[in-house]
Chain A
Amino acid sequence: MDTLPASFDVLLLGTSLPQAILAAALSTSNLTVLHVDPSPLYGSHDSSLTLSDLLSLPSHPPPYLTQLSLSTSPTALPELKQTSREYALSLRPMLIRSFSPLIDALVGSRLSKQCAFQLLQGLFLYSPASPSPTSTSPAQSTAPRATKVPASKEAVFTSPLPLLQKRKLMRFLLWAASPQPLEELPELQGREEQPLLQFLQEVFAMDQEGAQALTFVVAQRVRTSDPALPGLRAIRQHLLGSGRYGPSAYLLGHYGGAGELAQLFCRMAAVRGTPYILQHPIERLDLPGAEGEEVRIKLEGIDEVFRAKKVVMEPSLARGVQQPEAGTGTVQCLAILEETLVDEDENFDTALLVFPPGALGEQGLDRTVTCLWTGEGSKSTPNGRYAVYLSTPCDAGEEKEAKKLLEPYLQAFVRLTGKPEQEPLLAFYYKFLGGGSQASGEVGVEREREGVYVLRGLGEGLVDGADRAAERRGCGPEWKIR
């Protein structure tokens, strides 16, 4: 085996997806790179976990997880341990838009030949129970339900919506997908900051449920106050993305999504000569104090001290630099269920349900909670099991813990499944630090000082993460992927 050089041009800390893409990009340049990760798995916080990996998290929580609470149903535990390797779970599930920088990176690097994806098969909006409006009839309420959200002409055509609503929805979708820049559209003038919900109801005469479906499911907005212009941009992206790979605008990577892709990019870098050192904790990291000084890193179990001119760090491995507001992140729940939503006799292997703000009344939150589930179709679980991912952004000031916030939502989801009485085989609640609502988005690699860079802006929500992993804003020309 070749001996490693003692000095490199770039040191990368952490093998999460954005870092992996960066490594692959750098490997096509003349720069020498060393890629280090104290984690035993490629992907760091993006890595795909087996069930055993998941079960061991509470005893050794990584720095980016807090408020961990994991429970398994006693009858399920033996099965879960036995089938552990058939699971590929993610701590930060990621949906990829069919037109996105990540797809471009995969195709451009030809790694797309080595990975496979599952199309998201449905988008649903949660509607809470509603009492009967008339006072003469007995207290007859409609049960809570999940309604499929049509977001393409074909979906609108086949949906059970009344005729008039179909027309209104189509009229809006055509307007939103027009080639003119959004800022120039006359209907939007003066209303760009208006809440999207309000805009849809006032300008396009949409009813509340239709407006909610568009705002929280298609546009993936988080709060009722979210403004119109960025929301419409998201809707337009969704409409344009439909049809590229099938009747859906989103893809989910097989074998846990981000983790698998991180591995591919790392492998590409390794094949081109980038050395990889995993599983050795960082004993000491010296950042350059003055111009011309090098970065020095000492890993446990390795005598040599490696030096580099520049270092790029993942937020959770960043030290000696100013950290963003501590405590912001997302609260999440990962649950394993036997059965999920059945809609008109159709089983959905991989789909997304959105709880709009206030969906669970006092028990719930004033912002959306996304519920993404996936099963065998994306090779995330064995046959007959589904991984359900609940997620919502969370500020530092939030008092309630992850489990308290999301348990009502998991229960509401279970009641909608084909087996409403089922007990989850596993329910893991946690708070994931970092990422979060950096909507003003310093995206990409932020330069702290000479030679020191930190990844920022991991994105909020299911879709942003994938987009931002591959975006190259604010970087020098040597970061470009060919």
Chain B
Amino acid sequence: MSHGVKRTREAADVLAARREKERSKLQAYLELTDDVVARKRAAVFTQECFDLTTKLLGLNPELSSVWNYRRLILLNALFPNLSPEGTFSLLQSELNFTTGALKQYPKTYWIWNHRRWCLAKVPPGPEGAPVEKSWKRQVWARELFIVERMLDADARNFHAWNYRRYVLASDPGLRSPEDELAYTKKKIEASFSNFSAWHQRSKVYSALWEEGVSEDEVRQVKDAEFELVQQALYTDPGDQSAWLYHRWLIGNGDDTAVLKREIANIEELLAIEPDSKWCLESLVHYKRLLAARSQPDEAAQLSDLKKECNTMLSKLQTIDPKRKARYQELVL
């Protein structure tokens, strides 16, 4: 469907001629579909059938059962007769086929599925080759290249970020965590209003810290990240993506020293941006975390925290009336 293209009234004979041409096309398509489906039902797996699926999928790539049939032919008829080299070569031409299809239909799930299936089927090899020269490395490197082009075109495409994680998980040798951190930093510096880039950063750090890193090192890294995100918060306090990352850095607030420090920083920002919804929202959240960790002998501080939260919550109700009920719920 094209936007902005006016409906033109066609002359009756032109219309009739077009319908006739379409009818014969439709006829051919239906005949082809019937043929392929019949062959599939009969479980016939030959090169001829394979070529017919190529033709049919070229006309309509959303026929999921025809993709299935294609894969069955590959598994039952084509792969068994091939050497690993032959298999790899055939898979490469399959990948090319999907690339062409994706250019026309970038959102069709079945094409992406077929691509993933092909990537998973790449055999180990060539014999004796080091990891950097293996077929697997070749295809995954190419996938990464494609996804990076997609992210250059649109850095906020979360499908592409998802696919990137899938590629990196399938071949971890492609990018070191440091490389990945540098890549996310580059995307964030280009435009920090990018939830996916910040999110990826948090994923990389989480994976790194899972392997067992000293608390000191984690705190050091987090301090540097707090500095980075603070630049974003001051540049645009209205941008939610940076606040989300900040909240991830705080975590559950166990480190009360950091919690207090960040509360002070945000209060400074609030002083010059008194109507900033995100400042108020975050301060309420962080002060509640602090309140939950207050010691029995800190009754006065606890009472102060509650008062401050409630003042901010009533301010939020006026600034953000759509979420009035939520702020009312949060009152301590």
Q: Mark B206-248, 1 if CB is under 8 A from A, else 0.
A: 0000000000000000000000001110111100000000000
> Is the CB–CB distance between A170 and B235 below 8 Å?
yes
> Is the CB–CB distance between B189 and A157 below 8 Å?
yes
> Is the CB–CB distance between B236 and A154 below 8 Å?
no
A170/B236 contact (C-beta < 8 A), A157-B231, A163-B230, A163-B231 known = yes
Interchain CA distance A170-B236 in the complex, whole Å: 7
Q: Which 3 A-B pairs have the closest CB atoms?
A: A163-B234, A157-B235, A167-B234
Whether a CB of chain A sits under 8 angstroms from the CB of B161 is: no
Interchain CA distance A167-B272 in the complex, whole Å: 9
Contacts of B192 in A (CB 8 A): 153-154, 157
> Is the CB–CB distance between A157 and B272 below 8 Å?
no
Q: Which of B189, B190, B235, B273 contacts A166 (CB 8 A)?
A: B235
Interchain CA distance A338-B267 in the complex, whole Å: 50
Q: Which of B189, B190, B191, B235 contacts A167 (CB 8 A)?
A: B235
Interchain CA distance A156-B239 in the complex, whole Å: 14
Among A158, A163, A164, A247, residue most surrounded by chain B Cβ atoms (within 10 Å): A163
Q: Specify the chain B residue showing the minimal Cβ separation from A169.
A: B235
Q: Mark A164-185, 1 if CB is under 8 A from B, else 0.
A: 1011001000000000000000
A158/B189 contact (C-beta < 8 A), A163-B231, A167-B273 known = yes
Interface residues, chain B, with chain A CB atoms under 8 Å away: 189-192, 230-232, 234-237, 269, 272-273
Q: Mark A128-164, 1 if CB is under 8 A from B, else 0.
A: 0000000000000000000000000110111000011
A154/B230 contact (C-beta < 8 A), A166-B235, A167-B272, A170-B236 known = no
Interchain CA distance A153-B189 in the complex, whole Å: 10
Contacts of B232 in A (CB 8 A): 157
Contacts of B237 in A (CB 8 A): 167
Interchain CA distance A157-B189 in the complex, whole Å: 7
Give 18 A-B contacts (CB < 8 Å), ordered by A residue: A153-B191, A153-B235, A153-B236, A154-B189, A154-B190, A154-B192, A157-B192, A157-B231, A157-B232, A157-B235, A163-B231, A163-B234, A164-B272, A166-B231, A166-B234, A166-B235, A167-B237, A247-B190
Contacts of A154 in B (CB 8 A): 189-192
Interchain CA distance A166-B232 in the complex, whole Å: 10
Interchain CA distance A334-B104 in the complex, whole Å: 52
* A-B CB contacts (within 8 Å), total count: 34
Interface residues, chain A, with chain B CB atoms under 8 Å away: 153-154, 156-158, 163-164, 166-167, 170, 247
Contacts of B231 in A (CB 8 A): 157-158, 163, 166
Contacts of A167 in B (CB 8 A): 234-235, 237, 269, 272-273
Q: Specify the chain B residue showing the minimal Cβ separation from A168.
A: B272
Q: Specify the chain B residue showing the minimal Cβ separation from A152.
A: B191
Contacts of A153 in B (CB 8 A): 191-192, 235-236
Among B231, B237, B273, residue most surrounded by chain A Cβ atoms (within 10 Å): B231
Interchain CA distance A156-B237 in the complex, whole Å: 13
Contacts of A166 in B (CB 8 A): 231, 234-235
Contacts of B234 in A (CB 8 A): 163-164, 166-167, 170
Interchain CA distance A163-B178 in the complex, whole Å: 27
Q: Specify the chain A residue showing the minimal Cβ separation from B237.
A: A167
Q: With both chains docked as a complex, state the minimum distance between the C-beta of B18 and any C-beta of chain A, in angstroms.
A: 32
Q: With both chains docked as a complex, state the minimum distance between the C-beta of B197 and any C-beta of chain A, in angstroms.
A: 13
Contacts of B235 in A (CB 8 A): 153, 156-157, 166-167, 170
Interchain CA distance A164-B272 in the complex, whole Å: 9
Interchain CA distance A341-B272 in the complex, whole Å: 36
Interchain CA distance A167-B236 in the complex, whole Å: 7
Q: Specify the chain B residue showing the minimal Cβ separation from A163.
A: B234
Q: Specify the chain B residue showing the minimal Cβ separation from A247.
A: B190
Q: With both chains docked as a complex, state the minimum distance between the C-beta of A58 and any C-beta of chain B, in angstroms.
A: 47
Contacts of B189 in A (CB 8 A): 154, 157-158
| Other A-B pairs beyond A153-B236, A166-B231, 9, CB < 8 Å | A154-B191, A156-B235, A157-B189, A157-B235, A163-B231, A164-B234, A166-B235, A170-B235, A247-B190
Q: Specify the chain A residue showing the minimal Cβ separation from B228.
A: A157
Interchain CA distance A156-B232 in the complex, whole Å: 9
Interchain CA distance A16-B170 in the complex, whole Å: 60
Q: With both chains docked as a complex, state the minimum distance between the C-beta of B283 and any C-beta of chain A, in angstroms.
A: 17
Q: With both chains docked as a complex, state the minimum distance between the C-beta of B152 and any C-beta of chain A, in angstroms.
A: 12
Q: With both chains docked as a complex, state the minimum distance between the C-beta of B228 and any C-beta of chain A, in angstroms.
A: 10
Interchain CA distance A154-B234 in the complex, whole Å: 12
Contacts of A156 in B (CB 8 A): 235
Interchain CA distance A161-B192 in the complex, whole Å: 17
Interchain CA distance A167-B266 in the complex, whole Å: 13
Q: With both chains docked as a complex, state the minimum distance between the C-beta of B219 and any C-beta of chain A, in angstroms.
A: 22
Interchain CA distance A154-B190 in the complex, whole Å: 6
Interchain CA distance A170-B235 in the complex, whole Å: 6
Q: Specify the chain A residue showing the minimal Cβ separation from B234.
A: A163
Contacts of B190 in A (CB 8 A): 154, 247
Contacts of B269 in A (CB 8 A): 167
Q: With both chains docked as a complex, state the minimum distance between the C-beta of A176 and any C-beta of chain B, in angstroms.
A: 15
Q: Specify the chain A residue showing the minimal Cβ separation from B189.
A: A158
Q: With both chains docked as a complex, state the minimum distance between the C-beta of A345 and any C-beta of chain B, in angstroms.
A: 16
Q: With both chains docked as a complex, state the minimum distance between the C-beta of A171 and any C-beta of chain B, in angstroms.
A: 9
Q: With both chains docked as a complex, state the minimum distance between the C-beta of B254 and any C-beta of chain A, in angstroms.
A: 27
Q: With both chains docked as a complex, state the minimum distance between the C-beta of B332 and any C-beta of chain A, in angstroms.
A: 30
Contacts of A164 in B (CB 8 A): 234, 272
Q: Specify the chain B residue showing the minimal Cβ separation from A243.
A: B191
Among B190, B235, B236, B237, residue most surrounded by chain A Cβ atoms (within 10 Å): B235
Q: With both chains docked as a complex, state the minimum distance between the C-beta of A161 and any C-beta of chain B, in angstroms.
A: 9
Interchain CA distance A167-B233 in the complex, whole Å: 9
Q: With both chains docked as a complex, state the minimum distance between the C-beta of B10 and any C-beta of chain A, in angstroms.
A: 29
Q: With both chains docked as a complex, state the minimum distance between the C-beta of B98 and any C-beta of chain A, in angstroms.
A: 32
Interchain CA distance A154-B188 in the complex, whole Å: 9
Q: With both chains docked as a complex, state the minimum distance between the C-beta of B267 and any C-beta of chain A, in angstroms.
A: 13
Q: With both chains docked as a complex, state the minimum distance between the C-beta of B24 and any C-beta of chain A, in angstroms.
A: 39
Q: With both chains docked as a complex, state the minimum distance between the C-beta of A478 and any C-beta of chain B, in angstroms.
A: 31
Interchain CA distance A167-B230 in the complex, whole Å: 11
Q: With both chains docked as a complex, state the minimum distance between the C-beta of B162 and any C-beta of chain A, in angstroms.
A: 25
Interchain CA distance A162-B235 in the complex, whole Å: 11
Contacts of B230 in A (CB 8 A): 163
Q: With both chains docked as a complex, state the minimum distance between the C-beta of B265 and any C-beta of chain A, in angstroms.
A: 9
Q: With both chains docked as a complex, state the minimum distance between the C-beta of B7 and any C-beta of chain A, in angstroms.
A: 28
Interchain CA distance A170-B239 in the complex, whole Å: 13
Interchain CA distance A164-B268 in the complex, whole Å: 10
Interchain CA distance A153-B238 in the complex, whole Å: 12
Interchain CA distance A95-B190 in the complex, whole Å: 24
Q: With both chains docked as a complex, state the minimum distance between the C-beta of B61 and any C-beta of chain A, in angstroms.
A: 34
Q: With both chains docked as a complex, state the minimum distance between the C-beta of B155 and any C-beta of chain A, in angstroms.
A: 12
Interchain CA distance A153-B234 in the complex, whole Å: 11
Q: Specify the chain A residue showing the minimal Cβ separation from B242.
A: A157
Among A157, A158, A163, A166, residue most surrounded by chain B Cβ atoms (within 10 Å): A157
Interchain CA distance A305-B206 in the complex, whole Å: 84
Interchain CA distance A134-B237 in the complex, whole Å: 35
Interchain CA distance A471-B56 in the complex, whole Å: 55
